[in-house]
Amino acid sequence: MSDTGVDSSEEAGPAGRARMAAVTLAENAGQTERDCRPTANSLASVRAAGLFGLAVPVRDGGLGADLRTSFEVAVELGRGCPSTAWVTALTAGAKLMLARLVTEEARVDLFADPAAIVSSSAVPGGELTSERVPGGVRFSGRWKTASGCEDASWTTVAVPIRDGEQVTRMAALIPAKSLAVDRTWDVAGMSGTGSHTLVADRVFVAETHLLPMALTDGRSRIPALVTLGSMFIALGALLGAALAARDLVQRVLAEGRAASGTSYQSSVDSPLARYWFSEASHLMDTAVQRCRLATEVLDTAGLDGSLPVQERSRLRMELVTAAQECRQGMEKLLDLHGASGFVRSNPLQRLWRDVAVGTRHPQFSPWITAEDYGRVLFGVDTPAMRGL
């Protein structure tokens, strides 16, 4: 047991190291937002804690962490800086997928540095072209929303490869330095993720680093549970932001802040204020617990295993419900804190914007997820969400 009363083994674990790294992330969160990329100090802190190697198999020099652990790490980092936590989470998700797709030659390159940041995008920002050349392919194009692209060592982009009349969608694993970055990421929240646009101009990728995205029957080569698990890790970064906002508001209220325009000397003298805070807190705690239980289900099944489609759809509902609870809890905190929470110098407004934007990522779409769950429950149609 340490002097802080925390079990030393817990402090030494990935979540404990993330908790300590989050102090540096919080100190640099404002600069991260202004720069539209994580600061060097923040990235160095995550790297020193070994957390960019979360999803790298132990045999390749990484932590080989399970989903539950990876989720807890994202939550702790998200308390400090949601954007840096997001880049860490997406790197973990990319490595989970790539470990199952890469050739042995590409694997050696990718995991030569287990702490390498990986950026990826399958979102075209214009026409994509490619041509076969000896030993591989040359391709050109633009890909949007590539989180962490300015700090990545490796990048994966979706490239259509034409062989005669047949077009195959491949993932190209290439050194990030081979691509240019167009700094197009200008958003209200999660600015620090640096999700800019990647640009390729006749870039060469070796055949060994071209990864087929689909099996011969058209199904994705990426196991459905890997895709789903990766989004739970990413959501952890946003839940961490919500918990940081809760801590901030609780400190303000506990210091005896008066409720303006009322006879209360302190906001916490109001029974409804205490209830309002408890509601916000409960929403956030419930969201975290949903994700913990879901990641345990996925860990038990094994990411290379399978679950019935109805169970996968139910877990997606847990994912998007947790995202909505996170957002709802944040709104209640803003009500309690009041308009001063929107002063630029107050971290609360940044955390609010990060949660508002991040929880609207396409993978957290509540209406598509609910629609698909209804389809699955009644077996009336094919789900709309790819890979479900």
Q: Which residues pair with residue 200 across a beta bridge?
A: 141
| CATH number for position 203 | 2.40.110.10
Strands (E), the chain: 118-121, 123-124, 129-133, 136-146, 154-163, 166-175, 180-182, 196-206, 210-212
Task: State which of 212, 245, 266 marks the end of a domain.
Answer: 212
Mean pLDDT, the chain, rounded, equals 93
Identify the weakest region by mean pLDDT among 9-18, 27-36, 40-49, 312-321.
9-18
Percentage of the residues of the chain whose pLDDT score is greater than 90: 83
- Residues 206, 273, single domain; the answer is no
Examine residue 283 and state whether it is found in any structural domain, yes or no: yes
CATH of the domain at 13: 1.10.540.10
The pLDDT, as a whole number, for residue 262 is 83
Classify residue 290: in a domain, yes or no: yes
Q: For position 20, what pLDDT does the model report?
A: 98
- Rg over CA atoms, the chain: 22
Are 360 and 335 part of one and the same domain? yes
Q: Which residue has the tokens 């990411």?
A: 303
Token couple for 99: 């470990």
CA distances from 255 to 200, 249, 258, 266, 350 (A): 54, 10, 9, 8, 22
Nearest-angstrom CA–CA distance, 96 and 90: 10
Classify residue 387: in a domain, yes or no: no
Residue 1 has pLDDT above 60, yes or no: no
Looking at the structure of the chain, the number of domains it has is: 3
Q: Considering the entire predicted model, what is its pTM?
A: 0.94
Are 185 and 194 in contact, with CB atoms under 8 Å apart?
yes
Question: Domain range spanning residue 288?
Answer: 224-378
| Closest C-alpha among 181, 175, 184 to residue 205 | 175
Is the same domain home to 178 and 311? Answer: no
- With residue 271 as reference, give the H or E element that holds it: helix 271-301
Q: What is the pLDDT of residue 7?
A: 43
Q: Is the pLDDT of residue 9 over 50?
A: no
For residues 324 and 241, state if they share a domain.
Answer: yes
